[in-house]
Structure 1
């Protein structure tokens, strides 16, 4: 949904102003505007940035931070200096540890070379002994010299055993020598590592104390005049890092302080996109849930606001339509706007799972074998019993169930086919949004093929080879993927639009029946 027209005008002015900030060319940032009314009826707007801008909290013309600056200054400079001193202690200790670790690594490398050389010699010795034993066993004997030959073979075998034991003893002596050579270094490192651990624990404890003190400087009002600290709003959990520093809390705090009535709010990303993707210059996004959710739930108290949408309220009672059913499997066609499984709260209970439970009261197990996003339509597979459900899960994990989606994306895609391999994880501060993370993300692979092109859009067939949340949507939108958001995507699109739905549909589902072995293919063409 596009921002309010007044908020759009404010964003246009904001973007003209932020063009003067050079750092945004390489490090983009979220900004916000809040349209407000004064007591005399005059309309204007406030603007803010998330966190700091150019290394400072205060920029003329922008909302100041929420925290009590004077209270923070009474303890933070000294606390920051104390942490810097601890960091200096750690750095000095690391300077002592580094050469010892390098010396130990060099020693281990030399020892490895010695062990490898000795192993090669011992391997050659074993081959020689094996050849001698084999030759001895193959030598024919006569009755007259059986006793002498037997004694000779016994003596030879004993000598070979002695040589084998000698090699083993030599190996043990070398390992013991290596341990003896390593011990002085490892002993020093144990002492220094213990000392470092103690300093780290001291730093962690002091950081925790300072963080609690910082949190106490954040207090948020609402339209009813109720004041709550950030720790109270997130209790019993700990507030996440940066809670209270986003644009939305800053703007509401300033509006209440100046006795202004909030009318409309919008947040816009300005500057280069982050490495994780999901943000585009000039695109508007909702306030994050992780850092802002509890704060805004309180700060908006007492205001008359637009009601939140109740998803699924307009979905017909006979949805989802049945596509296939036998004694073990159910396939349905999920409409847009119906959750796959219940969300939090009674208003978000209506879902495919709840409706299937009502239709099939005798079904056991989790029922749904996979999920589709709320905004995605198409084929969903369910199992009527636990055994079948387990079989389907193993098939999904083995990637032997084929799924084909169809989607329209913004822009004209170059090339006709391709594969996207970008690891994904949830954005911990803004669930359910997913972000690209090459370090902590899980592997996500999507194959694509162009079906049709227009002057401004491309129709694609998408084949997810993994099943990550929002995989197709992120892979389409991310600049290292297609760089072309799916039309109607309210989470990952670059700009607001009036498209009534997300143009993404699970069109085809193919699998081998887990009980009969028959190959099944189901298809429900997209309506777009």
Structure 2
């Protein structure tokens, strides 16, 4: 298998130097060898006849449109020859294995594997449960139980009503006898008759109460018997469900144990160990773990890696055809960083490096209670989990006596521009209130990677975080928060469009997603490494800020032109 999956370059790569270190998979610029390997894979995808899959690239093609992430791993075989491996994420053409692509780490779909056998047992139990739950006999017994309960309730209520009616009648008899006795003025046998009557009425009351108790006991017995008939079925169903639960849990633990990943040292670690027996759906099915596992299993030396999107973008997220993307965070990061990449000489994690080092914040406006600074691109507004250097830290150092949260609003790390800062808590609250009421006016300038046909418009696309790949945002009409942006074209220059953005709301990555998404401007901001193509910087700048001064109540407008 190694010889037909390890492919030598068709392109002449003589003279190309190998990278000094292996790719950091969560933020990288593809090495030239990775680009060539990816291009040769793309050439294959354009001309192949080995499988049928609708990527959404051809008109009138049948089947559900599903774009795919593909990966290439440049590596050396045991003879020192340079070549590459291919992989796809998840399934392709509804299968796990295809010619030229490395296999899945554990094939649950293999006909002779334990998963298929256990799956059939579980399916058999499911069919038994479904049969019992939908059986006519169970339905008849449930109807009989319900009918018995209704009949019992009706019969008992009728008896209670009868007892109430007879009580009224007894009271009327007592009253009638009392009135008659008074009119007869002390008849000698009156007292005896009264005692006799009272005894008869009391006995009648006892008989009816005893009858009610007997009826209640009788109907409770009838309901209990009818319930037992139903419970016989329900016990069978619950017993099967418990058996299914136990078998499913055992199968899951077996899968976790079998689904194990190799590293450079030949060490194995299961998906259950990595995710503490609670892996996210699809973990281990991405291209990067597949490629590395296959390479380690065949003693290939990893040189460089890259992943790209092929096909139409999903409606919710932004994926560009043929564009390179980093490995996903929630599924791949624990697998790769905690185990598979152990021992590889890899480029440093840029997220652990301080992007603000050597940069200064410029004070554009200042008075006794506030200031406005110009934040450089790739500079945190507030401290992060790893990097603490930020506008907040710098301002706190400059103004040690300032109180309150200081930072009134934030800009994305990659966005440059004006930030409003309060020196005391009261000023902070008043300025924050203006942001909450959306009375503060903000204007951004951006350079888009293409030409926009319209001159202006409004974009409304609700946003939420991508739980599988933070901090990326998704367009989601079900769970997303309302996000609105007004925009206008300023100029077109060298097939690029300069625009003004006026964000009505302030969601994370709002302008970046609204620019890039196909339902927005469908033209990413230059340098957008999440939703577009990486460049020297993100060409997005907060250039104008208008607000009411907390003390003077005057409207103040601060501007700072972009340097791109």
TM-score of the pair, normalised by structure 2: 0.70
Contact 2:289/2:332 (8 A) holds in 1: yes
1:305 paired with 2:305, answer no
2:423 aligns to what?
Answer: 384
List aligned pairs for 1:62-141, cutoff 5 A. 62-67=101-106, 73-79=113-119, 82=122, 86=126
Contact 1:65/1:250 (8 A) holds in 2: yes
**Structure 1 residues 332 and 218, CA, compared in 2 at 3 Å: closer, same or farther?**
same
Stretch deviating more after TM superposition (7-16 or 218-227): 218-227
1:360-392 alpha-carbon deviations (Å, 9 max, x no partner): 222233221221112110011122233333333
2:298 aligns to what?
Answer: 258
1:22 paired with 2:53, answer yes
How many pairs were matched up? 427
Contact 2:317/2:473 (8 A) holds in 1: no
- One of 67, 72, 79 as aligned partner of 1:33: 72
1:363 paired with 2:402, answer yes
Q: Distance in 2 between matches of 1:371 and 1:77?
A: 55
Q: Distance in 2 between matches of 1:471 and 1:452?
A: 22
List aligned pairs for 1:179-218, cutoff 5 A. 210-218=251-259
- One of 378, 383, 386 as aligned partner of 1:342: 383
Report the CA distance between 1:277 and its aligned residue. 2.8
Q: Which has the larger radius of gyration?
A: 2
1:526 aligns to what?
Answer: 562
CA RMSD of aligned residues (A): 3.0
**Structure 1 residues 94 and 274, CA, compared in 2 at 3 Å: closer, same or farther?**
farther
Q: Distance in 1 between matches of 2:380 and 2:511?
A: 18
- One of 358, 366, 369 as aligned partner of 1:328: 369
List aligned pairs for 1:487-502, cutoff 5 A. 487-493=526-532, 496=533, 499-502=535-538
Report the CA distance between 1:81 and its aligned residue. 5.3
2:442 aligns to what?
Answer: 403
**Structure 1 residues 370 and 311, CA, compared in 2 at 3 Å: closer, same or farther?**
farther
Report the CA distance between 1:425 and its aligned residue. 0.8
Contact 2:445/2:541 (8 A) holds in 1: yes
Q: Distance in 1 between matches of 2:479 and 2:127?
A: 26
1:41-87 alpha-carbon deviations (Å, 9 max, x no partner): 10010010001111111112111111265799314542365258548
1:467 aligns to what?
Answer: 506
Contact 1:71/1:217 (8 A) holds in 2: no
Q: Distance in 2 between matches of 1:200 and 1:378?
A: 63
1:287 paired with 2:323, answer no
Contact 2:488/2:501 (8 A) holds in 1: yes
**Structure 1 residues 392 and 44, CA, compared in 2 at 3 Å: closer, same or farther?**
same
1:233 paired with 2:269, answer no
Partner of 2:372, secondary structure, is strand
1:167 aligns to what?
Answer: none
Report the CA distance between 1:419 and its aligned residue. 0.5
1:12 aligns to what?
Answer: 39
Q: Distance in 1 between matches of 2:241 and 2:405?
A: 44
Contact 2:122/2:248 (8 A) holds in 1: no
Q: Distance in 2 between matches of 1:338 and 1:83?
A: 55
Gaps of 5+ in 1: 97-190
**Structure 1 residues 205 and 522, CA, compared in 2 at 3 Å: closer, same or farther?**
farther
1:273 paired with 2:313, answer yes
2:212 aligns to what?
Answer: none
1:129-163 alpha-carbon deviations (Å, 9 max, x no partner): xxxxxxxxxxxxxxxxxxxxxxxxxxxxxxxxxxx
Gaps of 5+ in 2: 1-27, 57-64, 137-229
Q: Distance in 2 between matches of 1:94 and 1:338?
A: 62
Partner of 2:371, secondary structure, is strand
Partner of 1:216, secondary structure, is helix
2:30 aligns to what?
Answer: 3
